[in-house]
Structure 1
Amino acid sequence: MPLRRYNEADTAIFLKPEVLQPIGSYKIRGVYNWVAKLSPEDRRRGISTLSAGNMALAVGYVANLFKVPARVAIIDTAPKYKIDATRKYGAVVDLVSPSTMMDYIEHPPHDYSFIHPMADYGLMDGYGTIGIEIVEDIPDVDSIFVPVGAGFLSAGVALAAKSLKPHVRIIGVNAENCPHYHIGFKKGGLAPFEYKPTLADGIAGSFRISREIFELVRETLDEVVIVPEPEIARAVRFLAIENKLVTEGAGAISLAAALAIPKEERGKSVCILSGGSIDAGKLAHILEEK
């Protein structure tokens, strides 16, 4: 996915628009990589996962590419349009509650090949291709801003980018209303925090992150910053109006973080716009705000 220059003079910001992927999200990279590495027998069994939306879309899309069945569990609080879009790809959808989702992950009620959304390193390998492409396209990049949810995207990008350019700064981004990694970095481990609803819902929620994943993220990212809700909305609006890119809050948050840091501190920067799945009504409301 080619880089774009952010449409504002003299910011030295470039955009990695994963919103332009066929499903509107970077998730397709990880899922395709995971499915491609399955044995033919395991692939024929079908593929499954649990998701809040974008991973489900990726599984449905990739299953169509490989002509295999798909079955996904989607958290019942996910936006209806994501559920409907997943069904359009032919995937069977199981709705689960936040309280039962871990049971589904640990004991799937089927024999499909199951992609663990928070513990499958094959996903991380696919996401790492983003980091490789960024460094190859801009060899003198100074900073890469990446949204951090469970941590797989950020760790994959960091490992790949630093393998080519060890001194590039990888800056993870949390919403101020869900600062799980930001607090974890400060306290040396994931710790309780007060969760509040956020526009960046794609990187928020109740993550059961393993100590192994947390340590990998802490070792590979240089820091994790937080962004308040008004700045997330402003970035969504800027991207839609100035760059003609429809981006969800969890994707636009990387740009919001970069804009909050002086150019002299962050240098030439790339912001990963991780996804574009945003409800039309929510987007319209943001665009109407001043």
Structure 2
Amino acid sequence: MSITLDDIKAARTRIADHVRRTPLGPSPWLSDATGGQILLKAESLQTTSSFKLRGALNAIGGLLERTQGPAPRVVTVSAGNHGRAMAWAAEQLGVALTVFTSREAPRTKRDAIRRHGADLEDRAPAYDDAERLAKAFARETGATFISPYNDADVIAGAGTIGLELVEDAPEARQILVPVGGGGLVSGIAIAVKALAPTVRIVGVEVEASHPFQTSLAAGRITEITVGDTIADGLSGNLDADAMTFAIVRDRVDATVLVSEAALRRGIRGLIAHEHLIAEGAGIAAVAALLERRVEPGPDPTVALVSGANIDFDRLQGILAEA
């Protein structure tokens, strides 16, 4: 299923009453560190503290528009942020929701899912196991499965960030985006390449989990061995039929990898210099700049801070490393 600029514009209209237009502004800290002009897009300040609300609202809202009769039960899988966003959206729109996560998902994310009234199933040992359980639940119960990334409405919702970036920073020539399953970077790339095709889009994966870099090199979706990472939202394999693979292949200009050390340094630096909190997945674009995996160039570069849902104990530990 192709996703167009019109789909993303329709998503913006559908979700407008519920999402924030998050701030975009200069980062003197990162500009000094890199010698470039760095802008931060703070989706960490979105309702539910991550970009995921955009896709969740668009997916559930679109499903309700297409449904005749009672609202269907929905099931999803999540590393945490998508589940929290889906729970918030389901609560607002009156939809019954079951969320599958791993038992290692951050407690702050699991607690928020429960707080919004969703049924939480967190017994799986890892994300990939949770995804299999969620799909089995959908088959057995007839619930509608909504993927956190392999879903056209979720991708279109994420693409609304691209519209804001083009409108708020038309001078930017490069955008750095964290990449897990690829829904975020796919939506942004579709929007930005349609409106400003010369802007460079760079996806940022972590060294411990990089299914896109591996799969793009192989020319097909390839299973990887997933390592330990503080960027739980970027960890895991791709669906065998992931629509994001072709979008990233065709519209994203490059992918780079960042280390765990750079993620930790980025979290500390963002708090110290910008007074913003980011989780491991949310800081990946900033880490790519700090680790010089991407050079900013003479024109402005945007780094997307995609989420702030980090457990307090983990944040304390990272700050104590300074």
> Would you say same fold, with TM above 0.5?
yes
Is this contact kept in 1: 2:282–2:308, CA < 8 A? yes
Match of 1:104 in 2: 134
Deviation at 1:65, TM superposition (A): 1.5
2:250 aligned to which of 195, 219, 236: 219
Match of 2:12 in 1: none
Stretch deviating more after TM superposition (176-185 or 206-215)? 206-215
- Structure 1: distance between partners of 2:97 and 2:133: 19
Match of 1:278 in 2: 310
Deviation at 1:193, TM superposition (A): 4.0
Partner SS state of residue 48, structure 2: coil
Stretch deviating more after TM superposition (112-121 or 240-249)? 112-121
- Structure 1: distance between partners of 2:163 and 2:54: 13
Deviation at 1:203, TM superposition (A): 0.4
1:187 aligned to which of 209, 213, 218: 218
Is residue 84 of structure 2 the alignment partner of residue 57 of structure 1?
yes
Deviation at 1:116, TM superposition (A): 2.5
Deviation at 1:59, TM superposition (A): 1.1
Q: Which amino acid aligns with 1:122?
A: D
Deviation at 1:103, TM superposition (A): 4.2
- Structure 2: distance between partners of 1:153 and 1:43: 30
Deviations 1:155-208 (A, max 9, x none): 110000111100100000011121221222223233344432112121012332
What is the alpha-carbon root mean square deviation over aligned residues? 2.0
Distance 1:3 1:118, change over 3 A: closer
Match of 1:79 in 2: 106
Is residue 162 of structure 2 the alignment partner of residue 131 of structure 1?
yes
Distance 1:217 1:284, change over 3 A: same
Is this contact kept in 2: 1:155–1:216, CA < 8 A? yes
Stretch deviating more after TM superposition (8-17 or 163-172)? 8-17
- Structure 1: distance between partners of 2:68 and 2:274: 44
Residue segments in structure 1 that go unaligned for 5+ positions in a row: none
Deviation at 1:119, TM superposition (A): 2.4
Is residue 50 of structure 2 the alignment partner of residue 25 of structure 1?
yes
- Structure 1: distance between partners of 2:274 and 2:240: 34
Match of 1:35 in 2: 60
Match of 2:27 in 1: 6
Q: Which amino acid aligns with 1:2?
A: P
- Structure 2: distance between partners of 1:3 and 1:223: 23
Stretch deviating more after TM superposition (128-137 or 73-82)? 73-82
Deviations 1:220-239 (A, max 9, x none): 10010011111111111111
Is this contact kept in 2: 1:43–1:68, CA < 8 A? no
Partner SS state of residue 44, structure 1: coil
2:295 aligned to which of 253, 258, 262: 262
Match of 2:319 in 1: 287
Is this contact kept in 2: 1:19–1:275, CA < 8 A? yes
- Percent pairwise identity: 34
- Structure 2: distance between partners of 1:49 and 1:227: 28
Deviations 1:207-255 (A, max 9, x none): 3242643122111100100111111111111111111111011110111
- Structure 2: distance between partners of 1:43 and 1:141: 45
Match of 2:117 in 1: 90
Deviation at 1:23, TM superposition (A): 0.4
- Structure 2: distance between partners of 1:6 and 1:188: 37
- Structure 1: distance between partners of 2:309 and 2:153: 23
Distance 1:135 1:84, change over 3 A: same
Distance 1:100 1:241, change over 3 A: closer
State how many pairs are aligned. Answer: 289
Stretch deviating more after TM superposition (158-167 or 200-209)? 200-209
TM-score (norm 1): 0.92
Stretch deviating more after TM superposition (277-286 or 72-81)? 72-81
Deviation at 1:104, TM superposition (A): 2.5
Residue segments in structure 2 that go unaligned for 5+ positions in a row: 1-21
- Structure 2: distance between partners of 1:208 and 1:159: 20
